[in-house]
Amino acid sequence: MKLLKLFTICTLIIVWAGCTRNDPAPGVIGFWQGKYGVGNNYPTSGYSFLFRGDGTVRVFDNLDTTTANKAEGTYTFQGYDVTTHYTFLNGGDTFSSVAKINVRLSFMEGTWGRGGNTSGMGNFFIARQ
């Protein structure tokens, strides 16, 4: 009987370990689009994020990704908070953001800032595409 219990526990551990993912944030991986605003202005400028499974993000400062300025960086996902740090490829300006994602993992809104500050420059919202 003890052997059966040990076998059952080991099986459950193996199954649980096999179901966990190595993705840093499976809930946000994919392409998101929305708008950002500067200061206290309502977001009206295009903003897009491509969250990759390896913890990197590409940010576009326009909804048209073919003409947008592009930035590369990293992101973290903890609870319902998504934090990014990215640098634009054309001029080297670095920005950061933090956003709350909704429970359906389809929409997030937050603030962005210069350098390592996740606020101070404006607000944004993006939706999964």
Task: Give the pLDDT confidence of 5-26 residue by residue, as tens digits.
Answer: 545 554 444 444 444 444 445 7
Q: What is the pLDDT of residue 12?
A: 44
What's residue 92's pLDDT?
84
Q: Bin 55: left if φ > 0, else alpha if -120 < ψ < 50, else beta.
A: left
pLDDT for the residue numbered 2: 58
Give the pLDDT of residue 47.
94
Q: Measuring CA to CA, which residue among 50, 44, 53, 1 is closest to residue 24? A: 53
- pLDDT tens-digit readout, 107-129: 999 999 999 999 999 999 999 99
Name beta bridge partners: 49: 32, 59
Q: Which helix (H) or strand (E) holds 2?
A: helix 2-19
Per-residue pLDDT tens digits for 31-65: 999 999 999 999 999 999 999 999 999 999 999 99
For residue 67, what are the β-bridge partners? none
Q: What is the pLDDT of residue 7?
A: 52
Element (H, E) at 11: helix 2-19
**Per residue in 57-95, pLDDT tens?**
999 999 999 999 999 999 999 989 999 999 999 888 999
